[in-house]
Amino acid sequence: MAKMAAAPEPAAAPRLKPSTLVDTRVIYCGDNLEQFQKLPDACVDLIYIAPPFNSNRNYEVFWGETKEKRAFEDRHASTAAYIDSMRPRCVELDRVLKSTRFFDYH
């Protein structure tokens, strides 16, 4: 009777060293400008944002088990006003992104 060789065990995934700059176990929520301003320079690998689109609408959602009401207005006086609201956010995200950055703007 032939013996079957046992399949090799998969190698353990390398343990990534936690960042000393920012807690990577946290999802940071809120106005991205306020969150970016709390971060040190060049500490983020990836940023994904889906900003308002100037749809001229108000949005409301009931969040989580507590059904907390969250809302935002997607209204700007003009395209220039919209750009003016996005400019400081883009400056901050550029500051916090590492040189190996990836930025996804939906």
For residue 85 the two structure tokens come to 């609201």
pLDDT of residue 95: 96
Please report which residue ranges of the chain form alpha helices under DSSP H. 32-37, 79-96
* pLDDT value, residue 105: 86
Amino acid letter for position 79: T
Q: What is the pLDDT of residue 91?
A: 96
Give the pLDDT confidence of 23-79 residue by residue, as tens digits: 877 777 778 899 999 999 999 888 888 887 778 888 888 888 888 888 888 888 888
**Whole-angstrom distance, CA of residue 27 vs CA of residue 47:** 12
Q: What is the DSSP string of 84-105?
A: HHHHHHHHHHHHHEEEEEEEEE
- How much is the pLDDT for 87? 95
Tokens of 53: 């689109």
Per domain, the residue ranges of the chain are 32-105
Does the pLDDT of residue 93 top 80, yes or no?
A: yes
pLDDT for residue 13: 54
Highest mean pLDDT among 14-18, 62-66, 96-100: 96-100
Average pLDDT of the segment spanning 79-100:
93
